[in-house]
Amino acid sequence: MERSDVRFLEAESPQPESAPSPVVGRVEADLAGALHEVSNALTVVLGWLDVAHAKLSPGEEKDAVEVARTHARLGHRVAREAIGAEVFPGGTSERAAKSLAQCALVGVAPQAERRGIKTTLVVGSQASALIPHVGAALQILTNLLLNAIDFSPEGSVVTLDIQEELGDAIFSVTDSGPGIDTPDADNLFLEPRSTRKGGAGIGLRHSEALARTKGGALRLAYAGPGARFELRWPIAEARSQVGAPKRAPSARLKGSRILVVEDDAAVRSLIELALEARGATAVVVANAEDFDRVVSRALFDAALVDLSPIKERVAASLNALRRTSPEVVTVLISGAASGPPNGLEHHFDAWVRKPFEMGEIIDTLGAKLALRAGV
């Protein structure tokens, strides 16, 4: 749910501009709090999925984890955007139309199987065209496919078709249901009503608005029987492939020794496994005493530092780390919105705000280690 849905709640209880409803304010606060908790939960889910994906060999299990990771990342970003938090810009920004469609179909496969629905992909000649804003396009296609599955009778077929027209990719989702009545069709993207049992009526309205913000368009192409929705999406400009590919950030971590200072056991184990899955050695400490003991005995390439374990003497601890490991890259991991506390800015090379994706940690460490090495 985005801010537009909060505005809809406000519209239901009109108030004078000078006196906003305390009920609306409480709803907004409750919603923001709930989305923050969802974001935190998905941070942990994403991290463990990253760990599992890195450890699995190619095959169906790895593919399944990749689908789960893609959709968990999508939900994580939606939750963070809705509460106004920064969104990690990493991940795939462009994807071939066919690959995007296949990902959407695989994602809804369990629901289709439970309903006894067959899904099929029809590919035109330009399905290799690159699609920008992958997360938004996947979000809309997933919603359309889930709706199509819900409306189709058992044993029927839901079709996803891809074509190209005037520089746009056209994704068409056709169900085998009874169709949409004319009054419903006329207001499909305008009113928060649902013809599906248990539906909130928000999905299509939100999908249509999201498509417009990304330069696309969503419309009901045929009311049915066998309704067909059409998503028009811009095609990305081709990019030059000249030059050697850059090393992935995860590759730069291989062989490095990284200190992890964190008192949350779940986050601690998550970071440790994610780093080790990428060939790094993680040394984990949860309190100031362990920090002092470890720092005095070992040399580190990088450190991920939550301030809580060393809060009584942050500057002294970080100075001790720098004395024994002069070239160490230090990254603050903190939930504070303002970054490093005043007076401590010079102690850190980077800051990653909680809740984070493990991709943020990996990319930040990789980039800073490469910079330190002059790569």
Q: What is the CATH number of the domain that holds 346?
A: 3.40.50.2300
Residue 14 lies in a domain: no
- Listed in sequence order, the residues at least 6 apart from 272 whose beta carbon sits closer than 8 Å to its beta carbon are 260, 282, 284
Task: Name the 3-class secondary structure at 259.
Answer: strand
Q: Are residues 258 and 165 in the same domain?
A: no
What pLDDT is attached to residue 126? 58
Residue 216 lies in a domain: yes
Residue 5 lies in a domain: no
Q: Are residues 148 and 274 in the same domain?
A: no
- Asked if pLDDT for residue 6 goes beyond 70, the answer is no
Given 184, 205, 237, the domain boundary residue is 237
Residue 327 lies in a domain: yes
Burial of 262: CB neighbours in 10 Å, binned 0-12, 13-18, 19+: buried
Percent of the chain with pLDDT over 70: 68
In angstroms, the Cα distances linking 239 to 96, 144, 242 are 13, 30, 9
Higher pLDDT: 228 or 185? It is 228
Q: Is the pTM of the predicted complex or chain greater than 0.75? A: no
- Asked if pLDDT for residue 374 goes beyond 90, the answer is no
> Are 304 and 262 a contacting pair, CB within 8 Å?
yes
Q: Are residues 126 and 228 in the same domain?
A: yes
> Interhelix angle for 22-55 vs 60-82, to 10°?
160
Residue 243 lies in a domain: no
Domain coverage including residue 56: 22-84
What pLDDT is attached to residue 24? 45
- 190-204, 206-220, 284-298: the lowest-pLDDT one: 190-204
Q: Are residues 98 and 74 in the same domain?
A: no
Burial of 366: CB neighbours in 10 Å, binned 0-12, 13-18, 19+: buried
- Asked if pLDDT for residue 342 goes beyond 90, the answer is no
Higher pLDDT: 316 or 184? It is 316
Q: Are residues 67 and 99 in the same domain?
A: no
Question: Whole-angstrom Cα distance, residue 16 to residue 79?
Answer: 29
Give the residues across from 172 on adjacent strands.
161, 230
Given 30, 62, 84, the domain boundary residue is 84
Q: Are residues 122 and 229 in the same domain?
A: yes
Burial of 103: CB neighbours in 10 Å, binned 0-12, 13-18, 19+: buried
Tokens of 248: 């992935």
Strand intervals (E) in 135-248 = 157-165, 168-174, 217-222, 228-234
What pLDDT is attached to residue 209? 85
Q: What is the CATH number of the domain that holds 102?
A: 3.30.565.10
Question: Whole-angstrom Cα distance, residue 40 to residue 79?
Answer: 9
Residue 123 lies in a domain: yes
Q: Are residues 221 and 101 in the same domain?
A: yes
What pLDDT is attached to residue 236? 75
Q: How many domains does the chain have?
A: 3
What pLDDT is attached to residue 338? 65
Given 188, 216, 237, the domain boundary residue is 237
Q: Are residues 201 and 271 in the same domain?
A: no
